[in-house]
Amino acid sequence: MAVNVAVVGATGAVGEEFLTVLAERDFPIKNLKLLASSRSAGKTIKYRGQDYKVELLTKDSFKGVEIALFSAGGSISKEFAPAAVSAGAIVVDNSSAFRMTDGVPLVVPEVNPQAIKGHKGIIANPNCSTIIMNVPVWPLYKANKIKRLVISTYQAVSGAGAWGLWELEDQIKAYASGQPIKKNKFPHQIVNNIFSHNSSVQENGYNEEENKMVKETRKIFGDAKIAVTATCVRVPVPRAHSESINIEFEKPMTPAEVREILAKAPGVTIVDCPEKSHFPMPLEASHQDNVFVGRIRQDISLDGGRGIDMFVAGDQLRKGAATNAIQIAELLIK
């Protein structure tokens, strides 16, 4: 069944990825509308060999639209998503605007596709780091309930938007040529450096990205008691986030059991070759939809074999954003 689709924020990093993934997955589009701010309105974008003119986003942009894919920031979503719903569209929103709103499903299709049925016009796409962690952790949670998760992230600069990539590239060029290294939007130099994720630190001492991982995981898993703690860091990598994940289960779990479960899990690719020291890397995870999982080993700090350590890498622009949203849209049209 072909549907009328609008992409809001079509010229941004994730918006461009929306169009790539829509074409790759042969999403059934009847009519396509590309929407953006006044800075980008009027531009021409090619989709599947056809030129589309980017239109100015207004509250009247959604007449006839059935599915609206939003990727333009929380303030834009709050302003324009209700107008899209009023016009009859279902909004799949990639921002944080509605993720923790009661009555708005927060969905990772490999984890909680059934939650989509409860939507009232808006479905929220989780945070990229949350999605990349949830995809491999959920099948383990189903097999052996998890008591606690400890996550450390290594997040690519393009997760901040296209400007993050430009800033890294500019600093690499400056460093290579012996020129002064200038920081623009990032709070610190990113080339040859890492720093705490550039979201604001909240009252509890966690930054916004870390709190998202905690709160969103509890909502997606439907488990308000699962203990989650995270440390989120920005690294000088262009694309794909990596994460170190420590899991404490209620019952013993061996690395062999974890590999057996994840080998059958949707959205997971195991990359775990100790002989060649070949494990998940952002370079190989880039432009892929699956989350790569490896370094699967017993946590020797926990008695009774209840702990597992693993390392994952996933493309935050694809599975962490565009692909996950389009998988939600695919569930809607089914």
Which parts of the chain register pLDDT below 50?
none
Query: Left, alpha or beta for 103 (phi > 0: left; psi -120 to 50: alpha)?
Result: left
Residues assigned a catalytic role: 128, 241
Per-residue confidence (pLDDT) for residue 334, from 0 to 100: 86
Q: Would you say the C-alpha torsion 176, 238, 75, 151 has a positive or negative sign? A: negative
| Residues 65, 86: Cα–Cα separation, whole Å | 11
| Residues 241, 87: Cα–Cα separation, whole Å | 36
For CATH 3.30.360.10, list the domain ranges present in the chain: 130-315
Tokens of 304: 């009774």
Per-residue confidence (pLDDT) for residue 16, from 0 to 100: 93
- The residue count for the chain: 334
- Full-prediction pTM beyond 0.85? yes
Locate tokens 């009252």: which residue? 203
Tell me the chain's radius of gyration from C-alpha atoms: 20
For CATH 3.40.50.720, list the domain ranges present in the chain: 3-125+321-333
Q: Where are the alpha helices (DSSP H) in 111-248?
A: 128-143, 162-176, 208-221
CATH of 3-125+321-333, picked from 3.30.200.20, 3.40.50.620, 1.10.3720.10, 3.40.50.720, is: 3.40.50.720
Burial pattern 125-161, b for ≥16 Cβ within 10 A else e, equals bbbbbbbbbbbbbbbbbebbebeebbbebbbbbbbbe
Query: Left, alpha or beta for 105 (phi > 0: left; psi -120 to 50: alpha)?
Result: beta
3-state SS assignment for residue 324: helix
CATH of 130-315, picked from 3.30.470.10, 3.30.390.50, 3.30.360.10, 3.40.50.150, is: 3.30.360.10
Cβ contacts of residue 190 below 8 Å, gap of 6+? 157, 164, 167, 168, 171, 183, 234, 236
3-state SS assignment for residue 29: strand
